[in-house]
Structure 1
């Protein structure tokens, strides 16, 4: 039956015919384990796809049917679709174990979960092990190794294989990032040639970030904690359903690098991870080393890679009681590539990744008693650390922001309860119905600590990734730690809440700007050619349900002089309440109880236009930053964004656009393009520049000197002589490892509209500072506080340099606006607290006025 199935499959899934089999391709025998018998009725990949591994990149359209076929026709494998990517490609999970175990899978899972907490013995259930294949699309062998792995467990025979299946439940997730893989495969196929070409300069090898990431250019290996993308949301549910004892993560790195495996740098381990985890990982690593020694491969361990940021695939498991192992192979994306260590072939990388999957599984089985005891101690220590207290949080004026955080915590299997009564903590009242409680008395309280605690002291200051990720700060939540459990009103799910449908308005409609989706609501209005106005001051409006207090930035949609019918406007308002959750109020009169703030006051309610946004990408600009902007605007707020490669900006008709976003990276433009953009700004356009692009715009658009330009070393200063061995540590001393800083926000400024208070945490991973405009004391709506570090690493020198400097500079230039942001306000799509800064920059940039008076130096710094 299995052979017949694959005969049909082969008829439909052959790749383009190659005249000869390239020298880099390898048949299934190359991947089979020596001394193991294989069932010949199980077709190899080349039998189904028509080409061997290494000959061409393995396409999803050929790999997925092949692997599904293995599962459908093997009593050892079942497959489940966990979810879909943005481009509707499946995220698959293959559970591999013996037929007897498959018949009792749920009972095994329950016993395994009991074992983690010491309520079952080491041998009461098979070991549950998890292997990730393909989180980075550019990393060929990370995905393609899944093919010989699953083939092996479908076809391999013998007592050793049977014992491995009897004693494990193996969960293979394939692929983690199908959109990125498809992009990489299309690129390699585009530059494929019949002749073997291993020249590293060949275009087939030249692709990294674009394929590494998902549809919106997110690095999914940074998504284990943040969970903004559908791929990570799919796999995390499966991970917590099983809570595996070992998690293996397959990657590739630069082609010149030898093979790498964890445990990684000894000093660069998150303190929430027990030392014993590293010891056990090293014990398993000796199995990898033994295999690699037998093959005479170069390899390395205990260097370069760390275990600090808890949002990576090999580190997140370790704060959840699992062991995490990272593997990295030197990449050969085009099939084979010449390197300083010789010819590196994809097929060889695939074989090595496959074989280390077997050494990982066997190593875990060899250490079964030790790993079980480690996990029992891990969760017992969690229980000892647990208290009756926990964390309370709220998002004043924005229930959706708090609900979004609740949803995130639930995805991490963290219990959250709604407050049952008002609670005073840290000088703030947390109101029932709008506030939540996270108890520490949970089995995964180390993860809770990792999410909520602020850390600013580190054993070593070198970080492979961000050093600070205190998520309540990223969400700009009011939060506090409490010592006793409060009154609660049941478990909270954080479901999106629609607002009540508005009455038919006799005069117009109003809504507050504080809600997360107020920008999406406004975009709906403007995209329908409905006129809208924004409040420059707070006011009180008489509505069909009584008086409503509105803050700055609130939106007023009059019925007067609209070219759209009142019925059509009301329909849009109903959609806003239902789909965006924004409460819409129906005004009955333009007269307000606040003198001078009637709805018709032109100095209070200013007209708005729909943003027509160009988002530049590529040509040196950071794909991650551009993707985070794109995802925020497109996915989050349903705003049309025109993506334009930076090198094409000179070809645009700028009269068609209102805003240009330049993100971090190399933002340099030619003089002619810079001149065109400057003229466009002077004519009314708005430039939003973030991170490194803000420095470029500060110099080339605003005409200010670069940071430090013209500054000479102090007289008599001599250069130090340092030992070369200290280079890494000294170089990293003043690098900011992705920390969270405190800033002061002017809530009266259009960029501050919708915020409830002046305290605003921002993410920062750059060291430069923006200059304060010397003739405009109103141009700094956000600046760092005098003691800015909230969480993460920054040297005392950097803290002093940054303290009191602008986080954002926003000023008029001609009829247009230039907004410089030192930081990325939508970092990794996980900073809803600063996301509104971006949306305000888009919708309210024309509301920023230029000063007309003259100000003394003393006046300039009154509000510092």
Structure 2
């Protein structure tokens, strides 16, 4: 009977959708403001898009054409292409203000920026326009957040009357569209592909169920709304540069949430605010919210604030501004993947979401303009107070170094520069945390304008008033980059040397009389090795430390040193030298020219049998598709393909059983996810493939699946039955549910740097990001626990005492041999958001060094050991 009833309901909805079909194709009049006249000389959206707003997704190229056309027609607008996506789509910024302001725009910007420095804030004029930034389209699947830019641009160009003139005289609006053009284009293509004459509101229709990986993320499947802080993607680098060029006082960010929700805007949950965000900022957010609620009330629309969303992780578009002297406002509309769809609150339309976001764009502009003197005062006080906060802070700065890897240090210095954080070379030396940091080290003093931003990047927070987090709770970035760092509690002013600069020191290598050698600790050493192996050049790895005679004296190489001899090569010496020069120039690797195959360290000659091993070119298969975590897969793809140029075949997991030749792959990677069950026939083939010499790598839930289904570890089904039933108050449910979560925290592990999976590390502590409660099984092989969480592994972020007790002392990384192959498992994601630079080397070791280590042997294994040595 239920099925019959649903058929009847579906027929009724189909008739209803046919009857109201015209309501979904809204004309421009639907969006425009009542009582406002518009300049007919300004091109209307449909004239370029070829359809009404909300009728279908606007193609990115047509949207770009529309914005460029309108900007050229309006004396209120100038346009700039600030960057390009991975797929080479442009990201545009419009500067919108009154023509009189445009005539002195550079003067306005310079005067405005005086407020953002303690040295000049007191002299900054308040008789200036407010700077308002509008973000559109950071999540491609939340398309109304992008599409709303279209009526907004039209209105700002074409609206006439005293109100718009006054708002533009008192405002400089920096409008950025589209933050994520690649994700939007995936989404638009999907919706257009399933478009039909009759709009289908059935939520199960394919249009409303975008195929994996969806359109939320960018080309490499990164969530760009987590990139304000991390800055690993070209889109975020482009917009952050522009943001700091203007340092807006109000930043608004447009999104969509669950289909059955109404409409949301900040302020967020009061108890979920990052500690360094001033309370005054929340008060101003509350005041600005009154402009949005006034309009929504006039429309009799449902909405909510101060619920569900927070301002804790400073790397989101609505929180980053709040640790940089401005207000950040998040807007969320009930999701609408297609044109119209049924929800618990009736049929919701794409057009309605666009209109709501457009109109709150206008209330944001108007509210900021009305509040401009308060916002000016807030921004000035924000930066003036930085020096006082620094004086009160017992920590006076942070010192850090990574002499083993200049490129990793360069990457961190670049990150600090992107956030306008002052950084200096250490003058002489400075003592901190029982260590002496010399002039190869750098220091960030806290007595600077960016006190809050610097503190948030280096801070370690493990105590929280609220245990519920919308995103990560800890992100100590020098740990993520694998730096040796410490707090400095004494005065640092006398230790500030020259301002930090990015330097690349690799010189052109000399021609080698015998062989080329280079160390493995440099960040791009795996990319350099891959260049050699993919070019058919034989390379070897040193298992033990060695001292090598070179044309420039004796060079010490730690474990993992790479050797490229001139013997037994199928590639000419000239071609090898060309690749070596490329390695120095593009990978920043210092390559040494060895003069002899005999080293100064006994038992480590370059042609050795046991202490030097041959390496093979990798060809990696990365499992993708429904059930696999999109971001986890994208982060591995980005690391291997974009950073290290390692060939990666992306294969959806439902296709694995139909692979024609598994033998072509050296490695298979299975990342985290919520449904990783692979076909049983493929699982059997996978075990044989590993035993025959393949390497399988897993992290998070992928590691758990491999341990159970490839290694054969039995799942522990034991439950704790000792607890008695209790009665709890429902009002405490949210906090109780979060009581034993791992809230996206930074963990430290002890790494065996003598193991090939630890090659390239000079310190035995490595940091990873953890947001699961799973633990890896302890292998039987006593040498297989490559990295283990210590007794106090939490560095930063929230973890309950119960979970901490379960995690400490367990493996973070294991590496075992299975037959002729290898199984390498990570409890955490070493490539998390392309930010845990210090952990990525472990993953690259799993790619290049997976056959270098041997399994433990006992009595009776002599014959197998001899065969292995001969192999």
Pairwise TM-score range, normalised by the shorter structure = over 0.9
Q: Does 1:844 align with 2:849?
A: yes
Report the equivalent of 2:868.
none
Q: CA deviation at 1:151?
A: 0.4
Among 658, 663, 687, the residue aligned to 2:696: 687
Residue equivalent to 2:607: 600
Which residue among 255, 266, 278 is the counterpart of 1:274? 278
5 Å-filtered alignment, 1:220-619, equals: 220-387=224-391, 389-432=396-439, 434-482=440-488, 483=490, 484-495=492-503, 497-619=504-626
Aligned counterpart, 1:212: 216
Displacement of 1:488? 4.1
Match of 2:776 among 753, 770, 789: 770
Counterparts of 1:34 and 1:687 in 2: how far apart (Å)?
Answer: 62
Alpha-carbon distance between aligned partners in 2 of 1:720 and 1:702, rounded to the nearest angstrom:
39
2:10 aligns with none
Q: Deviations over 1:369-415 (max 9, x none)?
A: 32222222221211212359422111130011111000001011112
Alignment of 1:85-100 (within 5 A): 85-100=85-100
Between the aligned partners of 1:749 and 1:486, the Cα distance in structure 2 is 41
Alpha-carbon deviations, 1:531-557, whole Å to 9, x = none? 111111101111111111001111111
* CA deviation after TM superposition for structure 1 residue 121, in Å: 5.7
Q: Is the 8 A contact 1:247 1:323 kept in 2?
A: yes
Question: Which segments of 5 or more consecutive residues in structure 2 lack a partner in the other structure?
Answer: 1-19, 861-871
Q: Which residue, out of 657, 668, 691, partners 1:660?
A: 668
SS at 2:822 equivalent: strand
What is the CA deviation profile of residues 307-332 of structure 1, one whole-angstrom value per residue up to 9, with x for unaligned ones?
Answer: 00000000000000100000000121
Structure 1 gap ranges (5+): 1-19, 856-864
Contact 2:755–2:853 at 8 Å: present in 1 too? yes
Partner in structure 2 of residue 745 of structure 1: 751
* Structure 1 segment 641-660 matched on structure 2, within 5 A: 641-652=648-659, 653-660=661-668
SS at match of 1:300: coil
User: Which whole-Å CA distance do the structure 2 matches of 1:561 and 1:728 have between them?
Assistant: 65
For 1:569 and 1:417, the matched residues in 2 are separated by 39
Distance in 1 separating the partners of 2:706 and 2:166: 64
Partner of 1:181: 184
Q: Bigger shift: 465-474 or 366-375?
A: 366-375
In structure 2, how many angstroms separate the alpha carbons of the residues matched to 1:374 and 1:123?
A: 11
Deviations 1:156-181, CA, capped at 9 Å, x for gaps: 01111100010000000000000011
- C-alpha distance in 2 between matches for 1:680 and 1:262: 53
1:709 aligns to what?
717
CA distance in 2 between counterparts of 1:734 and 1:226 reads 27
- 1:161-209: CA deviation from partner (whole Å, max 9, x where unpaired): 1000100000000000000110100110111111121111111111285
Alignment of 1:158-197 (within 5 A): 158-197=161-200
Separation in 2, partners of 1:564, 1:704: 45
Q: Tell me, what secondary structure is at the counterpart of 2:197?
A: coil
Contact 1:122 1:368 survives alignment (8 Å): no
Name the SS of the counterpart of 2:493 in structure 1: coil
Give the match's secondary structure for 2:52.
Answer: coil
Task: Say whether the 8 Å CA contact 1:423–1:486 is kept in structure 2.
Answer: no
Secondary structure of the corresponding residue to residue 503 of structure 1: coil
**Contact 2:130–2:375 under 8 Å retained in 1:** no
Helix, strand or coil for the counterpart of 2:851? Answer: helix
Which residue does the alignment assign to 2:837?
832
Q: 1:410–1:493: 8 Å Cα contact kept in structure 2?
A: no
Report the alpha carbon displacement of residue 276 of structure 1 after superposing the two structures with TM: 1.4
1:55 deviates by 1.2
Aligned mates of 1:209, 1:138 — CA distance in 2: 10
The corresponding residue for 2:11 is: none
Structure 1 position 301, deviation (Å): 0.7
Counterpart of 1:633 in structure 2 is 640
Whole-Å separation in 2 of the counterparts to 1:712 and 1:97:
64
CA distance in 2, matches of 1:122, 1:24: 48
Q: Tell me how far 1:816 sits from its aligned partner.
A: 0.5
Partner of 1:134: 137
Q: In 2, Cα distance between the equivalents of 1:713 and 1:458?
A: 30
Instruction: Report SS of the residue matched to 2:528.
Output: helix
Compute the displacement of 1:854 (Å): 7.2
Contact map agreement 1:745 1:758 (CA 8 A) in 2: yes
CA–CA distance in structure 2, aligned partners of residues 449 and 561 of structure 1: 54
TM-superposed CA distance for 1:256, in Å, is: 1.0
Q: How far does the alpha carbon of each residue in 1:25-66 deviate from its partner, in whole angstroms, 9 at most, with x for none?
A: 111111110111111221211122221011111111211111
CA RMSD of aligned residues (A): 1.5
In structure 2, distance between residues paired with 1:487 and 1:112 = 32
Alignment partners' CA distance in 1, 2:221 and 2:273: 28
* CA distance, structure 2, for counterparts of residue 854 and residue 124 of structure 1: 85
The correspondence for 2:707, drawn from 659, 684, 698, is: 698
**Structure-2 separation of matches of 1:63 and 1:600:** 61
